[in-house]
Copies of this chain bind each other. A is one copy, B any other.
Amino acid sequence: LITAADVWAHLDALAKPRRSLGRLEELAVSLALTQQRLDPVTRPRRVVLFAADHGVAAEGVSAWPSEVTRMMVDAIIGGRASSNAIAAAQDCDLGLVDVGVLGPEFTSDDAIFRRARIAQGSSNLARCPALTLEQFNAAWAVGAEEARRAIQEGAFVLIAGEMGIANTTPAACLTSLLTGVPADQAVGRGAGSDDAVLARKRQVIGEAVGRALPLLHADPALAIASVAGLEIAAMAGFHAEAARAGATVLVDGYVATAAALVAERLAPGTRHAMIAGHLSAEPGHRAALEFLELTPLLEWGMRLGEGTGALVALPLLDSAAALLTGVARLDSIGAERAD
């Protein structure tokens, strides 16, 4: 087993002042530990976006109508969303899976797209459980299968991203449910909510978490399913399977981190494979990352989703890997350590 001390010993022998690359060296240690090797690999890498709608959108918790989920799926298939642009810039393969979008099945046969719809959206968590346990497990399995496929095809770094109007509401429910932070501290504006939307969102989340919490100890999956979403369940399965298989899991923003909390709760130890890409503008994100003991690489106020925050952070891993593998030892260049 490779320990942090092993990685630091390697870094401290390199031809540079000790610890002079600050946070990059800490990232190198994290990266080496996630892959359990002193020469971690960051290419190829893949982001898989999971798309689904949310019954709770009917409560007016989002500024955007559910139809936008569908429009964005089409945009992603067309290669014209923010995630496509940034993934291409960072040499990252991109996949997209419909696990629960409203409306007719997508007919695209584009290679990046996969049909795996469990249902036309989740149920309205303000009125009843969002998902049945069967739906939750089916979505989890789709995500796990995507991680297995990516790793079989060579990926060493995996990112789960999402597209789902209203999904910061289930994310806030899960953050409150699984970390214990009060519901009102877990709620933010998502993709552009005004004050009235925010107040309604806060009420819905508080009530739903209040119903889920008594179930959590006896049946955590059932409690989680009651406030989750299909794309979140799929991302959780993706995270858990990627970790099990020894890949690095680069965690995106608030919704992806909620899925990371779910993965860690149901598959303990998953968090040891995780590196947090960024701290989003959503107020509950910090508590979720702290619960997982993750330090975000960037604090850039990003709140788009679609895996974009992790994609922006991804090349920082390339530099960390290069430091571990491409630099001479100080003693090999004839110098003696002065620090």
Contacts and interface: CB of A to CB of B under 8 A. Distances in A.
Interface in A190-217: 191-192
Contact of A90 (B15, B315, B328, B334): B315
A339 B192 contact: yes
Given A82-B323, A89-B318, A335 B68 contact: yes
Interface string A212-247: 000000000000000000000000000000000000
A128 interface: no
Nearest to A89: B322
Contact of A318 (B78, B315, B338): B315
B82 A14 contact: yes
Given A74-B333, A315-B90, A318-B89, A21 B82 contact: yes
Interface in A59-101: 63-65, 67-68, 71-72, 74-75, 78, 80-82, 84-86, 88-90
Nearest to A301: B22
A13 interface: no
Nearest to A308: B21
Interface residues of A, number: 58
**How many copies of this chain are found per oligomer?**
2
Contact of A319 (B21, B311, B327): B311
A285 B119 CA distance: 55
Contact of A301 (B23, B78, B333): B23
A315 B325 CA distance: 19
Interface string A285-306: 0000000000000101111100
Contacts of A20: 191-192, 302-304
Contacts of A304: 16-17, 20-21
Contacts of A322: 85-86, 88-89
A304 B330 CA distance: 14
A8 to B, nearest CB: 15
15 contacts: A14-B82, A15-B82, A16-B82, A17-B304, A21-B82, A24-B300, A24-B302, A63-B339, A67-B335, A75-B328, A84-B326, A86-B319, A89-B318, A192-B339, A312-B319
Given A63-B339, A89-B321, 10 more contacts: A15-B72, A16-B304, A17-B191, A20-B191, A20-B304, A22-B300, A23-B302, A72-B333, A85-B326, A86-B319
Which 4 interchain pairs have the tightest Cβ spacing?
A192-B339, A85-B326, A22-B301, A315-B315
Interface of A: 14-18, 20-24, 63-65, 67-68, 71-72, 74-75, 78, 80-82, 84-86, 88-90, 191-192, 281, 298, 300-304, 308, 311-312, 315-316, 318-319, 321-323, 325-328, 332-335, 338-339
